[in-house]
Amino acid sequence: MTRIAFIGAGSTIFMKNIVGDVLHFPALEGATFALMDINEQRLEESALVARKLISASGRSAQVETTTDQRRALAGADFVVTAFQIGGYEPSTVIDFDIPKQYGLRQTIGDTLGVGGIMRGLRTVPHLWRVAADMAELCPNATMLQYVNPMAINTWALAERYPHVKQVGLCHSVQNTVQELAHDLDLSQDEFRYRVAGVNHVAFFLDLTHKGQSLYPALREGYRNGSLPKPPLLMSRCANNVRYEVMEHLGYFCTESSEHLAEYVPWFIKSGRTDLIDHFSVPLDEYPKRCIEQMADWADQAKAYRTADQIDFEKSHEFAAEIMNAMVTNQPYTIYGNLPNRGQAPQLPNGSAVEVPCLVDANGIQPTVVDDIPPQLVALMRTQINVQELVVRALVDEDIEHVYHAAMMDPHTAAELDLRQIRSLVSDLLAAHGDMLPEFARLKKAA
């Protein structure tokens, strides 16, 4: 029977989606869900939800809980990672509040920029520990990695543990298709598309409906003001940034406007409230979401605890589809993040790239995409520059590369000079303390 380990199972809503998805597949009948988290209360809540999902599904499955990572991983076939080292407090607060003191504003701070850099430094060492335990306890397992910063994590895992099978998974492609279908009043089931790039800065190279390109309708709608419509998924996060980038670069980005705004130097600028207002850039969006989610969770947990059963529908996450395809040898196509071994020849070898991947009993096999337009390649390289320097800092234990990464970040470099960036990074490193690997720890100023 299939054994599925969840490292970070206290992320209950995400765990619920994946467990619910697995229960849709007859081939995964009888699976064991080994739930692991360091927060015992959240772990207990997740186990309760998982058991009620199993009961509602009518399928057979088992749930185990543990705070011991090695116990969860022993004999696993699939390992799902979904954790946040440092949490909202103190780490997210640090990542936003200290840059603000330098006049550097962010929206999400989990992928690129100084927030993404710090999150990578906190996260990769633990992913390495997971990979080390997998190599010993479940060497044939596949890690389904859902942790940000996705590209940095995927790249660093491949550098240190090249023989551990892993794929970085995101729902930005699926979410964007849903948003575009909403904007154009079309059925997303009738869309055909091809995407490639780096996670969160990948683009729809082809986007058609019943054989016709959707780009003319998207451009015309943006130019006449009818698009974008009020957003479908995040009500306060208008989608103006992605449409503006499409207008100038010719293609639509896979990640939301609130994310994209902080990956580039064009939208968040000191003294340019006109840009913030015109493009509806939601500054400090991620801390707001964290606070709202924490406030909502108590009510959600109570509702789950008192419910006789928990109803669920299949989500659009890829994890269970991958498991089913590998177990049954029924091919399925996903968008996966893997180290570049030639599947994206226009981008640096070894960097983490996101392309269509075929999944079957042979595992996750990326397809080659070699026609990314040069202006998009140039933009992707600005992201890869930062990612590579963070990976080099971690692998080589070279603290200087942390500073170099921030210096090369497009948004940070557009706002701050070199001395400001060095001072900002030093303040961030000192504030995070022992949440960082030892080589990156600085003492706080007296």
Q: Which contacts of 228-233 are long-range, i.e. CB under 8 A and separated by 24 or more positions?
A: 228/179, 228/183, 229/182, 229/183, 231/179, 232/178, 232/179, 232/182, 233/175, 233/178, 233/179
3-state secondary structure 91-115: HHHHHHHHHHHCCCCCCCCCCCHHH
Rounded CA-CA distance 332/140 in Å is 20
Report how far apart, in Å, the C-alpha atoms of 374 and of each of 129, 311, 368 are: 38, 47, 17
With 0-12 CB in 10 A as exposed, 13-18 as middle and 19+ as buried, what is 13?
Answer: middle
Residue 200 annotated as binding?
Answer: yes
CA dihedral 175, 176, 178, 182 (to 10 degrees): 140
Report how far apart, in Å, the C-alpha atoms of 38 and of each of 69, 84, 126, 333 are: 9, 11, 13, 34
Backbone phi, psi, residue 68, to 5°: -100, 110
Q: Which of 24, 126, 171, 182 is catalytic?
A: 171
Residue 148 annotated as binding?
Answer: yes
The contacts of residue 26 (CB under 8 Å, 6+ apart) are none
Give the SS3 label for residue 292. Answer: helix
- In the annotation, is 411 catalytic? no
Known binding residues for substrate = 148
- Could you list the active site residues? 171
Known binding residues = 148, 170, 200
Known binding residues for Mn(2+) = 170, 200
